[in-house]
Homo-oligomer: A and B are copies of this chain.
Amino acid sequence: MRDIDDNEPGWQDVLKLLYAKARRARVIGLTGSPGVGKSTITDALVERFRAKGLTVGVVAVDPTSPFSGGAILGDRIRMQRHATDEGVFIRSLATRGHFGGLTASARGVVTVMEAMGLDVVLVETVGVGQDEVEIVRMADTTVVVTIPGMGDDIQAIKAGILEAGDIFVVNKADRDGAGRTVNELKGMLSLSGDHNRRAGWEPPIVSTCAIDGKGLDELVDTLDEHYKVLTADGGQMLTERRKEGFRRELLELVQAGMMQRLLARLEQGEGLAPVIERVLEGVEDPYTASENILATILGD
Contacts and interface: CB of A to CB of B under 8 A. Distances in A.
A283 to B, nearest CB: 9
A20 B95 contact: no
Contact of A250 (B131, B156, B157, B290): B290
Contacts of A234: none
A294 B257 contact: yes
A65 B162 contact: yes
Contact of A286 (B156, B253, B282): B253
A18 B127 CA distance: 35
Interface residues of A, number: 89
A190 interface: no
Contacts of A64: 159-160
Interface string A16-36: 100110000000000001111
A291 B94 CA distance: 24
Contacts of A157: 34, 63, 126-127
A195 interface: yes
A98 interface: yes
A1 to B, nearest CB: 17
Contacts of A254: 262, 290, 293-294, 297
Contact of A150 (B34, B192, B239, B294): B34
Given A129-B130, A258-B298, A261-B294, 7 more contacts: A19-B282, A20-B285, A39-B152, A63-B159, A127-B128, A129-B131, A257-B291
Nearest to A151: B35
Contact of A74 (B156, B195, B248): B156
Contacts of A243: 276-277, 280
A131 B63 CA distance: 12
Nearest to A137: B66
